Amino acid sequence: MNKKLALKIAAPLLGIAFALGAPQGAQAAPVPTASPNNFTQACTQISNTATVNFTVGGVGQTPGASNAASFQVGNRANVLVVKQNAAPVSVVPGSAGNILTFKVINAGNYRQRYNLASLVKAIGTANPFAGLPANSTFTATEQVPAIYVDGAPGAVTANIDPDFEQTVTILADIGAAQVDGDLSVHALTATTTYTTGAAVTQGAGQSIVGGALACTGNVGDVVFADTVAGPDDAVRDAVGSDRDAYKVCSSLLSFSKTATTIWDPINYTTIQKTIPGALVRYVVTVSNAGAACRSAVLTTITDGLSGNLTMDANLKVAAAAGPLTALADESAAGKGFKVLVTGSARALNGVAQYFTTANDADGVELLAPNITATLATVLPVEGAYLAGEIKPGETVTLTFNVVIN
Amino acid sequence: MRRLILTATIAILACLSVSSVYAAGTPAGTVISNAAKATYTSGGPTVTTNSNTVNVIVAEVINVTVTWQDAANVTVSPGQTNAVLIFKVTNTGNGTEPFLLTGNATVAGDQFDPTLASIYLDTNGNGAYDSGTDTLYVPNVNNPNLAADGFVNVFVLANIPSSGVLDGNLGFATLTAASKTGTGAAGTIFALQGDGGVDAIIGASGGSAIATGKYVISSVLVSINKAATVSDVYGGTRAITGSTIRYSMTVTATGSGTAVGVVITDVIPAYTAYTAGTLKLNAVALTDNKDGDAGDVGGTTAGTVTVSLGNLTSASAVQTIVFNVTIN
Amino acid sequence: MMKKALFILAMLIFTATHAVAADKSPLELVSVNEVDITVKNSKGVDEVQRVDAAKAKVVPGDTVIFTTRYSYAGGKPATDVVITNPMPEHMIYTDGTAEGKGTRIEFSADKGASYAPAGKVKIKDAKGKERVAAAADYTHIRWVFKGALEKGAKGEVFFRAKVK
């Protein structure tokens, strides 16, 4: 049922691939596997004959021979599905067509074909690799079709001889909302069929016609030799399976904002309260976690000023005195916006930069009601840094004051 | 549940956006709420993310002013009752606040002490005391609850002593409005006592304000000087039978007010008889009969000279009344 | 059903051929290939049954028991009796499994040119260096009877080997 459906979907897409002249339009032939079993091929006749030599009365006799007792080697069906990654495939949020690569190996002794199916494992499925997270945290959306055999869409392998294999890939898209460290687990299953596509049943024989394995009469019975259960199949079910995973490699931004009333016009800095005329310091902190997989390239950070707030254009320093106009400026008059990069190898690491909030393209502009920092300007290209880039373990802190109206 | 909360937040924001600018500042309890927004890329498409939402809740500042509204000292006359002083109590804080009103008429620095009668609230808001319309203020019963920037006119009614006061004497009365939340030095904090449970901070007013209203006594002193000139029939000045005595009275008004309807009466002395036709006011003869002119003799009161001088002020000319009698 | 019928027919042909070929010597040999399979008996207990390899599902990795039964019908005792069994193609001898009552068992790793007891068989590698042959190297196995076989003597020799 599944196979039929998959084929129907695959067919028109195959056509498109050809029309575009895609080089991988056609399935490549299976290739020998790296570690062959070299099993005796199914339908091989094994014959045994014993001979005897003896003398009677010291006279050698004509040697005797036994009958040639023979039997035929049966079909040892065993399919292996083996993921080709030593670690989860690293993906970025919002990316499409990310590839998981498997090999489907005929580890038996008879030419078979395999029906393929992909499984998106539920959230919470154990990570098929060592390491964190221990369980999957999201489900990547597999494409339609999701399965490609040697680069061509399709859910059925070619006929694969014993000790031969084909490369099967699964394509999936990653949601834009996924965050660093998210894991999606996927499985590929391969179900053994005869080259006719007919299901293989344990114990039932099948004639082999033509090819290197041709033999007259019956192949003999099929033995399901997959004695080890795969992650998504059972013991002795002629099905092989393996799991692979996508792990989101992204920045891991923590983005927080605090508001602290630092001065009020009555009590100044003693138990200062958020009353009209009070100075409130906003601190916006953007950190890329040290454990993050990737840098973040910040574009803008925007904060909206409510109608009840007025920008303190001078970044006043709170003191136990008043009025507001008498307070000192942290940097200089008109430099109302502070940017500080820490944990960074940038030249300005730990050195506060001050910007005007005037609309003067210095990187921080106040266009009421929004105050916007353009990080490409504030954190320009330098050495190993892109404009606006914050690497894992780095923090950008934006500080400004507002006055309660 | 979440949707409900969101709706509530939107409602608050909507309220804020339409709120007008207050002299007293952002209303207490206003939640100034926002989140910073960042856009970035990390190997993939542009991502927009929001920080946590930070709420700044505006605390309440308690401030009040009381101003005396009368344009000038309120003129009162000795013994006047329910003389009205007009005050205006304004909530200059940023929260809604009830105020306790206290009147005081025993104030130092004046020349007399009025007696506090009552305090009325300007019910109809016309700024003038309307007896029977405006509401009697009863402390802690109907304390005015004023919104930020709100005000109420308050009428202080006092009685003026009827004696011992002189024209031009000043009598002071004060009105104090004190926040019910509390009063104290500026900066005193009443935790969680403000609007909507925010902290309340005493503002520069100390949470209380006082204003002094002034009464001025308006009285006029009418003084009479009476002189008698005797001339006997012998050309001398002996007071013998038949001698004529000329009485001359000068009436002078001094003081700040107006002596309304001043009437001078002088009883014809015993053993004398009025000489008919001798009554003069300011050298103008008056008839003896009680008629249209200012004076009469015996007409109003038997045996008495009566002269009506009308209204007299200090600006009025000295009034001179002259008449003759003959000693029997 | 058709296929099964064909299979049985083939077996009959083999049997008939053997009957004709082996009839001429007084020391008659009959080879049998068997496998042990584990089945549940009527009591539900696992029980090992030995069945004809041709009728069982023999696949790579399975062990086959190769048995040669002999019977001597000659008039005088047969002496210097040696039963030789080349290792069938695709099979690997399972070390220590050859048995035969009253025989000395020897192995060859050089296609029967020389024999030695197990563990003493020598083989030369590609560089001509000699080493002790492993069970997998054995090409032949023989049973050298220590005594003579009297008329009517019957017995069997056997070994086990695994399908490659």
**Structure tokens given for A88:** 């989860």
Which chain A residues are Cβ-neighbours of C17 within 8 angstroms?
67-68
Model confidence at A26, pLDDT cuts 50, 70, 90, reads low
DSSP result, B233-261: TTSS----TT-EEEEEEEEEEEESSEEEE
The CATH number of C25-33+59-163 is 2.60.40.1170
Ranking A14-28, A240-254, B47-61, B214-228 by mean pLDDT, the lowest is A14-28
Q: Which residue of A has its CA nearest to B186?
A: A266
Distances (CA, A) of C22 to A50, A55, C148: 11, 18, 21
Q: Does domain B220-327 have CATH number 3.30.390?
A: no
Mean pLDDT computed over A134-148: 96
**Structure tokens given for A276:** 């009209």
CA dihedral sign, ordered B295, B299, B300, B303? positive
Q: Hey, is C64 helix, strand or coil?
A: strand
Name residue B90's amino acid: T
Nearest to B40 among A273, A277, A299 (CB): A299
Residue C129's CB is within 10 A of a number of other CB atoms, namely 8
Model confidence at C74, pLDDT cuts 50, 70, 90, reads confident
| Whether B215 contacts B170, CB under 8 Å | yes
Contact between B26 and A276 using a beta-carbon 8 Å cutoff? yes
Fold match flag (B61-217 vs B220-327):
yes
B-proximal residues of A, 288-317, CB under 8 Å: 294-309
Q: Hey, is B167 helix, strand or coil?
A: coil
Measured distance CA(B66)–CA(B135) in Å, rounded: 19
Q: Which residue of A has its CA nearest to B23?
A: A405
| Whether C85 contacts C68, CB under 8 Å | yes
**Structure tokens given for C83:** 């039963």
Q: Which residue of A has its CA nearest to C157?
A: A50
Å between A168 CA and nearest CA of chain B: 26
DSSP result, A316-355: BPP-S---GGGSPBSSSTTEEEEEEEES--STTBT--EEE
Q: Which residue of B has its CA nearest to A270?
A: B187
**Structure tokens given for C115:** 């024999």
Model confidence at A79, pLDDT cuts 50, 70, 90, reads very high
Contact between C58 and A72 using a beta-carbon 8 Å cutoff? yes
Contact between B36 and A255 using a beta-carbon 8 Å cutoff? yes
Q: Which residue of B has its CA nearest to A396?
A: B38
Contact between C74 and A56 using a beta-carbon 8 Å cutoff? yes
C64 touches chain A (CB under 8 A): yes
- ipTM associated with this complex: 0.81
> What are B154's strand-pairing partners?
B87, B121
Residue range A144-162, pLDDT digits in tens? 999 999 999 999 999 999 9
| Chains C and A lie in contact, requiring 3 or more CB pairs less than 8 Å apart | yes
Q: Are strands B151-159 and B83-91 parallel, antiparallel or unpaired?
A: antiparallel
- Burial string for A290-327 (b: 16+ CB within 10 Å, else e) reads eebbbbbbbbbbbbebbbbbebbbbbbebeeeeebeeb
Measured distance CA(A86)–CA(A83) in Å, rounded: 8
Residue range B203-232, pLDDT digits in tens? 999 999 999 999 999 888 888 999 999 988
Measured distance CA(B92)–CA(B147) in Å, rounded: 9
Mean pLDDT computed over A63-77: 88
C85 touches chain A (CB under 8 A): yes
pTM here is: 0.65
Residue range B115-172, pLDDT digits in tens? 999 999 999 999 999 998 999 999 999 999 999 999 999 999 999 998 888 888 999 9
Residue C70's CB is within 10 A of a number of other CB atoms, namely 25
Which chain B residues are Cβ-neighbours of A386 within 8 angstroms?
none
Report all structural domains of chain A as residue ranges with CATH numbers, in order of start: 23-38+75-248 (2.60.40.10), 253-404 (2.60.40)
Which one, of B19, B166, C7, lies nearest residue A71 by Cα? Answer: C7
**C15 Ramachandran zone, left/alpha/beta (phi>0; psi -120 to 50):** alpha
Instruction: Reply yes or no on whether the pLDDT at A20 is more than 50.
Output: no
Which chain A residues are Cβ-neighbours of C13 within 8 angstroms?
none
Measured distance CA(A318)–CA(B245) in Å, rounded: 93
Name residue A387's amino acid: A
Question: A touches which chains (3+ CB pairs under 8 A)?
Answer: B, C
**Predicted local confidence at residue C12, as pLDDT:** 40
For chain B, the average pLDDT equals 87
Model confidence at C125, pLDDT cuts 50, 70, 90, reads confident
Q: How many CB pairs below 8 A link A and B?
A: 141
Ranking A193-197, A264-268, C143-147 by mean pLDDT, the lowest is A193-197
For residue C5, what are the contacts with CB-CB under 8 A and spacing of at least 6? none
Report CA Rg, chain C.
Answer: 18
**Predicted local confidence at residue A14, as pLDDT:** 34
Å between C110 CA and nearest CA of chain A: 17
Contact between B94 and A276 using a beta-carbon 8 Å cutoff? yes
Domain boundaries defined on chain C: 25-33+59-163
Q: Does C56 or C135 have the greater pLDDT score? A: C135
Contact between A404 and B25 using a beta-carbon 8 Å cutoff? yes
For residue A303, what are the contacts with CB-CB under 8 A and spacing of at least 6? A257, A282, A284, A370, A371, A372, A398, B34, B36, B37
Nearest to B46 among A284, A299, A404 (CB): A299
Domain boundaries defined on chain B: 2-59, 61-217, 220-327
Instruction: Reply yes or no on whether the pLDDT at C149 is more than 60.
Output: yes
Which chain B residues are Cβ-neighbours of A309 within 8 angstroms?
32
Kindly compute the dihedral angle of the four CA atoms of residues A362, A367, A371, A376, in this order, to the nearest 10 degrees: -40
Contact between C29 and A65 using a beta-carbon 8 Å cutoff? yes
Nearest to A275 among B34, B55, B201 (CB): B201
Query: A389: exposed, middle or buried (C-beta count within 10 Å: 0-12, 13-18, 19+)?
Result: buried
Contact between B42 and A295 using a beta-carbon 8 Å cutoff? yes
Residue C96's CB is within 10 A of a number of other CB atoms, namely 11
> What are A374's strand-pairing partners?
A300
Topology of domain B61-217 in CATH is: Immunoglobulin-like (2.60.40)
Measured distance CA(A371)–CA(A369) in Å, rounded: 7
